[in-house]
Amino acid sequence: MSESAVQGAEGPRVVLRRFSQADAEEFTARARESRGLHHPWLFPPERPAAYAAYAAPLIDNPARVGYLVCERSDGAIAGFININNIVGGGFLCGVLGYGAFAHAAGRGLMSEGLELVMEQAFGPLGLHRLEANIQPANEASLALVRRAGFRLEGYSPDLVYVDGAWRDHERWAVTTEMRR
């Protein structure tokens, strides 16, 4: 996907931009500052070398698209939303992964960013469905998808390997029809 696909992807308080290797220092500093917020749910890269490996497929792999949610006022990275495992054909689906950084948590910036990502997913990317798999005790993540209009579709024991163990997840999804 070209950078032009996110042009105009801005809301009142945030803009989306694609990941780049130039974001390593800011992203990893924000990840380190946010360790208490993220753990035990997710583990974004905290060092530039780890960021390089993490960001490369979000930049170069057509089955993944990574967006940085940035504050309009100063360009600071507030969080990230990735569409992973993008499948075409009759499926036209992707799976979300996301996280806010501590300085931006609870300010509604990720809700605004997710709305913009859904516009990209169901517009230029041509997807029909987005899914989010969330650990049941991750209340902030569940609240985000509820606000965005996702529906609960099921429960999967031992679905994703996180922090040294297979974790149960709730499966949430939204489709183009639900957004109309």
For residues 77 and 101, the answer to whether their CB atoms sit within 8 Å is: yes
Which residues are CB-contacts of 9 (< 8 A; sequence separation ≥ 6)? 15, 16, 67, 116, 119, 120
**Over the stretch 4-56, which tens digit does the pLDDT of each residue have?**
456 569 999 999 999 999 999 999 999 999 999 999 999 999 999 999 999 99
- Average pLDDT of 101-128? 97
Question: Is pLDDT above 50 for 3?
Answer: no
Reported confidence tier of residue 70, pLDDT bands at 50, 70, 90: very high
Question: How many CA atoms are closer than 13 Å to the CA of 29, on its beta-carbon side?
Answer: 7
Reported confidence tier of residue 94, pLDDT bands at 50, 70, 90: very high
For residues 126 and 132, the answer to whether their CB atoms sit within 8 Å is: no
Pick 119 or 5 by higher pLDDT.
Answer: 119
Is the bond into 124 cis (omega within 30 degrees of 0)? no
Average per-residue pLDDT for the chain: 94
Q: Where in 45-114 does DSSP place strands (E)?
A: 65-71, 77-87, 93-100
Q: Which of 105, 84, 108, 82 is nearest to 94 (CA)?
A: 84
Is this prediction's pTM over 0.85?
yes
Reported confidence tier of residue 180, pLDDT bands at 50, 70, 90: confident
Question: Is pLDDT above 70 for 89?
Answer: yes
